[in-house]
A = this chain, B = another copy of it.
């Protein structure tokens, strides 16, 4: 990245961008976190072990104090140009649990960008003050641009993609895979069912990318005709010899699933696409109904990236079934994000060797 002009960099395929995400490190040791594609199996395994460890340490008061001492000299900026309370909260708490001081900007529209400043300049300026920027932005390339800018700067700090455009949400994908692994022990050989608005939900895209790190995984995409998974994802799966199929009948595949990943219809995009508002919102074919639990394997899980509306029967919120993991999935996100920050700041060893 250092010497490549932005226009040239932006044109590269993702695989050629990956080396630029590390600094004086191997490709597998990330500095910036931008794409689900940047993680390989050894990285995932060690990150999940680190997140497990952080969670365990956090259970004691002494452990909390230890964790909060680790980055007590560092500051994080959560730059959320696009609204997202839950990803914001998850990162904030992850940072605080590692002791970081935090600043947040949740609306850039009213500030310098309104005065005509470029995003590059905004990022360069903000990076003057802090040691990490977590960024959520409606534009697809915004986080890449920020990371590129940092690679050109004297004071280089890591950029974490907290969700950009419809495309990438890599930490969500990490927590999803982490949750599957915790629920069914081992991902190799499993069948993952993804349901809902697969065309416009970025979580299913990032999750599909990440699953290539596991052996013999099958994916079943369940969606209305209108909202099928993108052709680029199918090409990616074909390229990596990952079997998948598509259907519009959730009920028929519930029994096969090791993990069912529900998503909501993202009707906020409807008007931009010339669709009638809330097209397909309440199609009962894509709702997880209580009775499906009877058909599911005893060791399996129902997930959701949240927020959910009515894609999962609301009475399940109050049912005590260990396969309903979507609330735990949410908290897993905080641990994965804490693990990721700890990793980027070189704290894996000190955490893994902490004695209670």
Could you list some 18 contacts between A and B, CB below 8 A?
A64-B73, A68-B72, A83-B111, A86-B111, A89-B103, A93-B103, A93-B129, A112-B307, A115-B268, A115-B309, A116-B267, A121-B308, A122-B307, A124-B327, A125-B306, A125-B330, A128-B331, A153-B327
Contact surface of A with B, Cβ cutoff 8 Å? 61, 64-65, 68, 72-73, 75, 77, 83-86, 89-90, 92-93, 96, 101, 103, 105, 108, 110-112, 114-118, 120-122, 124-126, 128-130, 152-155, 264, 267-268, 306-309, 314, 317-318, 327, 330-331, 334
A112 to B61, CA, bound (A): 32
Give 8 A-B pairs besides A64-B73, A68-B73, A128-B331 with Cβ atoms closer than 8 angstroms: A65-B72, A86-B111, A89-B126, A93-B130, A117-B308, A124-B327, A129-B330, A152-B318
Q: Please give, as numbers and ranges, the residues of chain B lying within 8 Å of A93 by CB-CB distance.
A: 75, 101, 103, 129-130
The reply to whether A73 and B65 form a contact with Cβ atoms under 8 Å apart is yes
A14 to B264, CA, bound (A): 37
Q: Please give, as numbers and ranges, the residues of chain B lying within 8 Å of A121 by CB-CB distance.
A: 306-308, 317
A86 to B105, CA, bound (A): 10
Q: Please give, as numbers and ranges, the residues of chain B lying within 8 Å of A111 by CB-CB distance.
A: 83-86
A128 to B264, CA, bound (A): 20
The reply to whether A116 and B154 form a contact with Cβ atoms under 8 Å apart is no
Please provide the 7 A-B residue pairs with the shortest distance between their CB atoms, ordered closest to farther.
A117-B307, A64-B73, A112-B307, A85-B111, A83-B110, A116-B309, A128-B331
Q: Please give, as numbers and ranges, the residues of chain B lying within 8 Å of A264 by CB-CB distance.
A: 115-116
The reply to whether A96 and B75 form a contact with Cβ atoms under 8 Å apart is yes
The reply to whether A61 and B84 form a contact with Cβ atoms under 8 Å apart is no
Q: Please give, as numbers and ranges, the residues of chain B lying within 8 Å of A77 by CB-CB distance.
A: 89
The reply to whether B307 and A125 form a contact with Cβ atoms under 8 Å apart is yes
The listed residue (B85, B125, B308, B318) touching A327 by CB distance below 8 A is B125
A65 to B74, CA, bound (A): 10
A165 to B72, CA, bound (A): 36
The reply to whether A85 and B65 form a contact with Cβ atoms under 8 Å apart is no
The reply to whether A331 and B85 form a contact with Cβ atoms under 8 Å apart is no
Given known A-B contacts A103-B89, A120-B317, A128-B327, A115 and B307 have beta carbons under 8 A apart:
yes
Q: Please give, as numbers and ranges, the residues of chain B lying within 8 Å of A89 by CB-CB distance.
A: 77, 103, 105, 126, 129-130
A89 to B65, CA, bound (A): 26
Q: Please give, as numbers and ranges, the residues of chain B lying within 8 Å of A118 by CB-CB distance.
A: 314
A29 to B92, CA, bound (A): 31
Interface hub of A112, A124, A331 (most chain B Cβ within 10 A)? A112
Nearest B-chain residue to A304, judged by Cβ: B121
**Smallest beta-carbon distance A106→chain B, Å:** 8
**Smallest beta-carbon distance A157→chain B, Å:** 12
A90 to B129, CA, bound (A): 7
Given known A-B contacts A83-B111, A103-B89, A152-B318, A128 and B330 have beta carbons under 8 A apart:
yes
The listed residue (B61, B117, B126) touching A73 by CB distance below 8 A is B61
The reply to whether A86 and B124 form a contact with Cβ atoms under 8 Å apart is no
**Smallest beta-carbon distance A233→chain B, Å:** 23
A37 to B70, CA, bound (A): 43
**Smallest beta-carbon distance A284→chain B, Å:** 17
